[in-house]
Amino acid sequence: MDELSEMDRRRFLTVLGGLGGAMAYGGMLQVPDSFAKEAYPAGKITYIVGYSPGGGNDQTARAAAQFMNKHIKTFSRVPSKVSVIIQNEPGGSGMKAIRSLYTADPDGYTIAHGEDMLHTRSILGKLGFDPFELTYLGRIASGSKVVVTGKNSPIRTWEDVVNLSKKTPIRFGNATFASSNHVGTIFLIDTTGISAKMILFGAGPNTNAALIRGDIHLALNNEDGLKGMIDSGELRPILTFSEKQQYPGCQTIKDIGYPELINPIRSQRYVIAPPKMPANIKKILVDTLKRALTDKEFLAWNEKVGLSFEPIYSPEVDEHVKKVQGFYNSKSALLRKYLDKG
């Protein structure tokens, strides 16, 4: 139906007021489309990221958002009004953004980046809600981890790490408290039984600088976040959490006898939405995410930059989240031992 002029609108409202009693007798009024709420999507979609620009979580979310922005428009009657915009809300190790997401209207105009922190905080009783209340649109990335040392470090192999730990605790650097890297380091230390002390630096670049200076012995981080410094020779890989060797002379967690750690130590990066999102809106967002991450331009771009995109979409992602949470639940005593004081 054509848009009404301002005069037509005034006349319509006048007539509507005069017909107030008609509804009491079962009369039905045909409301013009221009007065009805526009079908979703019809405006800006805010994609919240709980970290400052530039890190691995931010890069992953921005890449997904860029191509979601391209494909969400195809579902709209007003594509010129529709966009997907990243909004960084750092604070609380990512939890400020999660809480903003949790309390947002489930109208499809607020989504967020979620990760392993959801599982850890749930174990510690600090999430504030059941993680399964959230609407999971997909797991978009799952980064493999790598243990690295500085280029001038005498450590060359995992055997060197074990021998050194018998003399002095290994100084293990991490960026963020209760992050997947911090938790992964806890799992590694506990499983291998090495003597170690964890030191938090608040940010990845600070941890890398400490490695290069020799202030710490090792650090565990996402491989895609360290690839540039490994390729440049500033950092040396000591151990990867993979089935096969990826760097000359670098052992895998399977090589040293702990293949059970390959999957649990991988990072999980989700796209999430508020609780109780209507099914029709969720379907549009999931379809948009699928189109974005299978877009030929996106795939060509990621082939060059090498981010760890391994998407799983709803409804399969719900089972994946349950499986990951189940593993964290099985390690709850261990996690509380290391993290409760934080």
CATH of span 44-142+268-339: 3.40.190.150
Higher pLDDT, 208 or 244: 208
Architecture of the domain defined by 145-261: 3-Layer(aba) Sandwich (3.40)
Hey, what are 62's tokens? 């921005």
Give the pLDDT band (50/70/90) at residue 251: very high
Q: How many CB atoms lie within 10 A of CB 229?
A: 20
Hey, what are 121's tokens? 């905080």
Terminal C-alpha separation, the chain: 59
The answer, yes or no, to whether residue 67 has pLDDT greater than 70, is yes
Q: Residue ranges per domain, the chain?
A: 44-142+268-339, 145-261
Give me the chain's average pLDDT, please. 86
The answer, yes or no, to whether residue 17 has pLDDT greater than 60, is no
pLDDT (0 to 100) of residue 341? 64
Q: Please tell me the least confidently modeled range out of 22-31, 59-68, 85-94, 284-293.
A: 22-31
Q: Which residues pair with 197 in a beta bridge?
A: 171
Give the pLDDT band (50/70/90) at residue 92: confident
pLDDT (0 to 100) of residue 260? 87
CA separation for the pair 328, 331 (Å, rounded)? 5
Hey, what are 238's tokens? 């000591």
Q: Please tell me the least confidently modeled range out of 106-110, 156-160, 244-248.
A: 244-248
Tell me the CB-side half-sphere exposure of residue 268, using CA atoms within 13 A.
Answer: 28
Higher pLDDT, 300 or 54: 300
pLDDT (0 to 100) of residue 267? 86
Beta-carbon contacts of 224 under 8 Å, excluding residues fewer than 6 positions away, are 56, 143, 306, 307, 308
The answer, yes or no, to whether residue 210 has pLDDT greater than 90, is yes
pLDDT (0 to 100) of residue 35? 38
Mean pLDDT value across residues 262-289: 94
Mean pLDDT value across residues 176-197: 90
Give the pLDDT band (50/70/90) at residue 37: low
The answer, yes or no, to whether residue 131 has pLDDT greater than 90, is yes
Higher pLDDT, 202 or 90: 90
Question: What are the backbone dihedrals phi and psi of residue 209, each rounded to the nearest 5 degrees, phi first?
Answer: -65, -40
The answer, yes or no, to whether residue 10 has pLDDT greater than 50, is no
The answer, yes or no, to whether residue 250 has pLDDT greater than 70, is yes
Mean pLDDT value across residues 305-331: 92
Share above pLDDT 90 across residues of the chain, in percent, rounded to a whole number: 61
Share above pLDDT 70 across residues of the chain, in percent, rounded to a whole number: 89
pLDDT (0 to 100) of residue 72? 97
CA angle 292, 295, 297 (to 5 degrees): 120
CA angle 88, 278, 120 (to 5 degrees): 50
Mean pLDDT value across residues 81-92: 93
The answer, yes or no, to whether residue 27 has pLDDT greater than 70, is no
Q: Cα separations (Å) of 177 from 92, 94, 147, 170?
A: 9, 10, 17, 18
Burial class (CB in 10 A: 0-12, 13-18, 19+), 96: middle
Helix axes 204-213, 223-231, angle to 10 degrees: 40
Q: Please tell me the least confidently modeled range out of 88-92, 193-197, 200-204, 239-243.
A: 200-204
Q: Examine domains 44-142+268-339 and 145-261 and report if their fold is the same.
A: yes
Mean pLDDT value across residues 100-104: 96
DSSP per-residue letters across 53-81: TTSHHHHHHHHHHHHHHHHHGGG-SSGGG
CA angle 217, 218, 221 (to 5 degrees): 160
The answer, yes or no, to whether residue 246 has pLDDT greater than 60, is yes
pLDDT (0 to 100) of residue 304? 86
Global pTM reads 0.80
The answer to whether 35 touches 69, Cβ cutoff 8 Å, is: no
pLDDT (0 to 100) of residue 265? 81
Mean pLDDT value across residues 67-93: 94
Contacts 24+ apart (CB under 8 A), 252-260: 255/158, 256/158, 256/192, 258/191, 258/192, 260/191
The answer to whether 51 touches 222, Cβ cutoff 8 Å, is: no
The answer to whether 113 touches 49, Cβ cutoff 8 Å, is: yes
The answer, yes or no, to whether residue 221 has pLDDT greater than 60, is yes
